[in-house]
Structure 1
Amino acid sequence: MTHPLTPSPAARPAAVPIPDGEQPLITVKHLTKAYRGRPALADLNLRLPAGRIIGLMGSNGSGKTTLLKILAGLLAEYDGQVNIAGHAPGPQSKALVAFLPDADFLDPRVKAEQAIAMFARLFPDFDADRARELVEFFGLPQDRSLKEMSKGMGEKLRVSLIMARRARVYLLDEPISGVDPAARDVILNGVLQGFDPDALMIISTHLIADVEPIVDSVVFLKDGRLLLAGDADDLRQAHGMSLDALFRKEYR
């Protein structure tokens, strides 16, 4: 049995499967957010279950980053309701959410071990040994500061830190944007290393072909509205094409 999303009037019927008897880990109802009168999200409704990797897909300006920032508790001025594991965005929800923004958040002078020590002080759920395992998995240099690393190396360090938290929800905003194709594959493999199957991960991206092999469900946003959502395999079967081809068709 699937539970329907409540789509915006312009959206088509869509659903993200939720197992019988389970409650969604994230619920969004009539979420609307505007910047200087221009809508970034418009009457968005979502119900997202645990135990899933969800691709949040859309072109630039579709509202992906705004949605993730609201879920992460970084944007408080909005209309509608947001619930994360029974909590509105705030201190209690933030303790459950690990957020990887699309912008640098580390001092460029820090080295990998210094960054790990900093996160260990900041987050009670941070697993320093897990972070070191990911740093080793990515082959990151221990003797270089962030500013001495390549863009791909820097992104791998940030992923190592975020994925070393024992969070219930992981929000990754364009984690593979701006790095070469080989680095994208390595980063995505690192994201999956030891990922808790009972957690929820939302990966925001416009690089659909790269994330298609790892996502269980997808949410397509367009102009701040829900365009399409559902189980990845169901959408491929229903439309007779890959998610990448479906994305190109819907956003051309």
Structure 2
Amino acid sequence: MEKFFSCSNLKKSYFQRDILKGIRMEVDKGKIVGLLGPSGSGKTTLLKIIAGISKCSSGEVLIDGVKPGIETKSKVSYLPDRNFLYKWMRVKDSIEFFKDFYKDFDEERCNKLIKFMDLNIKSKITSLPKGELEKLLLTLVFCRKSKLYLLDEPLSRVDLITRDKILDIIMNNYTVESSIIIATNLVENTERVFDQVFFIDKGKIILSGNVEDLKMKKGKSIADIYRELFNNEKSY
């Protein structure tokens, strides 16, 4: 299997505080990967480095054999954990913005996703409930024909029904030529889509592997493994 993304001995420090402490990861093409850990574990920092928004202090990141930069940004579609759209926009404006900004924008796919998500293109961004805004942001990210999708807590602000819709989009919009990394602590709701998982705590990967292999080895669900590792009563 071809490794599309990898990082080795990746470290990141802010003001003498170590955020990432020697992260090692490899992701194959055509895989949906869970980056699982509690808030403050380093998930967002890692995704920002992969997306080319932040630089690592040391170590190496390779996306399709290339370090993060101008070339890789055309291959990576990133959903941050906060709204990135302008307040003056309507849904229609946000679509036009993405269409103008990204050469790989797929208008046909966008129209299908907007319909599937039941979004009103005339709605103002500021008037959208949190769940509707999350659906729009995810739709825009998946309207690009990218090789690597990075989703930072894509389900944190939506209800259970919307979560299922979003997971359906994730399952239906990746191909053998693309990979998805989902950073989340909502393991109960998301584990059904993962092929591979990395558990991260305090800037270190503490356990990783193929989902089915881990479940067989531990005799537990991924959610139960998460609880065991982080000593949480619930992961939702």
Is 1:148 aligned to residue 127 of structure 2?
yes
Among residues 142, 150, 159, which one is paired with 1:180 in the alignment?
A: 159
| Deviation at residue 59 of structure 1 after TM alignment | 0.6
What code does the residue aligned with 1:168 have? K
- More helix, by proportion: 2
Residue 127 of structure 1 corresponds to 106
Among residues 44, 65, 87, which one is paired with 1:86 in the alignment?
A: 65
Residue 234 of structure 2 corresponds to none
Among residues 34, 37, 48, which one is paired with 1:55 in the alignment?
A: 34
Deviation per CA, 1:148-179: give whole Å up to 9, x if none: 11110001001110001000000000000122
Stretches of structure 1 that go unaligned for 5 or more consecutive residues are 1-18
Q: How far apart in 2 are the matches of 1:144 and 1:193? A: 26
Among residues 7, 16, 21, which one is paired with 1:42 in the alignment?
A: 21
What code does the residue aligned with 1:127 have? D
Q: Point out the more displaced range, 93-102 or 140-149.
A: 140-149
Q: How do 1:1-252 residues align onto structure 2 when only pairs under 5 Å count?
A: 19=1, 22=2, 24-252=3-231
- Partners of 1:216 and 1:232 within 8 A in 2: yes
Residues 222 and 51 of structure 1, relative CA distance in 2, 3 Å threshold: same
Q: How far apart in 1 are the matches of 2:124 and 2:174? A: 27
- Partners of 2:11 and 2:56 within 8 A in 1: no
Describe the SS at the equivalent of 1:27. strand
Q: How far apart in 2 are the matches of 1:103 and 1:194? A: 22
Name the % identity: 35
Residue 6 of structure 1 corresponds to none
Q: If the length of structure 1 is used for normalisation, what is the TM-score?
A: 0.89
Describe the SS at the equivalent of 1:213. helix
Q: How far apart in 2 are the matches of 1:140 and 1:42? A: 41
Q: How far apart in 2 are the matches of 1:77 and 1:223? A: 16
Q: How far apart in 2 are the matches of 1:216 and 1:230? A: 9
| Deviation at residue 77 of structure 1 after TM alignment | 4.3
The two structures, once aligned, show a CA RMSD in angstroms of 1.1
| Deviation at residue 220 of structure 1 after TM alignment | 0.5
What code does the residue aligned with 1:111 have? R
| Deviation at residue 108 of structure 1 after TM alignment | 2.7
What code does the residue aligned with 2:34 have? G
Q: How far apart in 1 are the matches of 2:24 and 2:147? A: 21
| Deviation at residue 138 of structure 1 after TM alignment | 0.5
Deviation per CA, 1:26-77: give whole Å up to 9, x if none: 1111100011111110011111111100000001111110110000000024
Describe the SS at the equivalent of 1:34. strand
Deviation per CA, 1:89-108: give whole Å up to 9, x if none: 10011110000000100013
Describe the SS at the equivalent of 1:236. helix
Q: Point out the more displaced range, 236-245 or 105-114.
A: 105-114
In the alignment of these two chains, the number of paired residues is 231
Q: How far apart in 2 are the matches of 1:114 and 1:191? A: 24
- Partners of 1:63 and 1:222 within 8 A in 2: yes
| Deviation at residue 215 of structure 1 after TM alignment | 0.7
